[in-house]
């Protein structure tokens, strides 16, 4: 039996148009596309799951935040992509914005770094993932396309991140290289 307690959290992400556009690499968007994205956002927010995984219970217990969107969102993105690749890319970016907005709301320090460092979960944490119907992949992902797994409370950025060697934004990857 896992030694990790799973606490359901209630994320309340708010849509931030400027953040969404920055993820899309756009400065503006047609109103028709924006209306489609608003419909998807409203449909997907209830499909966002958030958990605190911790060896201890209580609001001050240290642990990890796990957020993910249900597989239905992945299926929705694929359906939009099949209908219109351009809209599919917007839908993909919207799902990313939703998960990251929820993560930043729950761990405000993530905004400063612009990312949520991924840590390698212990065997107990991996067993907790299984209890939630998720599987950890050694690449640093779970079996949901739109997910975040990061320390809670915030515990550092690039230096603790499992993905630092492959991340384009990593501040630690090239520290040992000579100029």
- Give 94-116 pLDDT, tens digit per residue: 999 999 889 888 887 766 656 66
CA 142 to CA 128: how far, in whole Å? 12
**Which of 138, 155, 147 has its CA nearest to residue 51?**
147
Q: What is the mean pLDDT of the chain?
A: 81
- The count of other CB atoms within 10 Å of the CB of residue 169 is 13
What single string gives the DSSP state of each residue in 63-122? EEEEEEE-HHHHHHHHHHHHH-HHHHHHHHHHHHHHHHHHHHHHSTTHHHHTS----PPP
What pLDDT is stored for residue 66 in this prediction? Answer: 92
- Give 118-160 pLDDT, tens digit per residue: 677 778 888 998 999 999 887 777 889 999 888 776 556 554 4
Please answer whether residues 164 and 170 qualify as being in contact, where contact means their C-beta atoms are separated by less than 8 angstroms: yes
Bridge partners (DSSP) listed for residue 64: 53, 151
- pTM of the model as a whole: 0.82
């Amino acid at each position: 039996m896992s030694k990790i307690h799973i606490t359901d959290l209630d994320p309340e992400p708010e849509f931030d148009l400027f953040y969404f556009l920055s993820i899309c690499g756009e400065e503006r968007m047609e109103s028709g596309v924006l209306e489609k994205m608003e419909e998807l956002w409203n449909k997907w927010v209830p499909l966002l799951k958030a958990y605190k995984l911790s060896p201890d219970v209580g609001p001050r217990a240290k642990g990890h935040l796990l957020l993910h969107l249900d597989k239905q969102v992945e299926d929705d993105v694929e359906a939009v992509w099949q209908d219109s690749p351009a809209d599919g890319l917007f839908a993909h970016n919207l799902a990313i914005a939703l998960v990251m907005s929820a993560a930043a709301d729950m761990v405000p320090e993530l905004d400063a770094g612009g990312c949520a460092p991924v840590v390698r979960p212990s065997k107990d944490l991996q067993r907790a993932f299984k209890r939630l119907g998720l599987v950890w992949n050694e690449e640093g992902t779970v079996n949901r396309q739109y997910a975040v797994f990061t320390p809670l409370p915030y515990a550092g950025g690039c230096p603790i991140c499992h993905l630092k060697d492959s991340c384009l934004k990593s501040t630690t990857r090239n520290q040992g290289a000579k100029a």
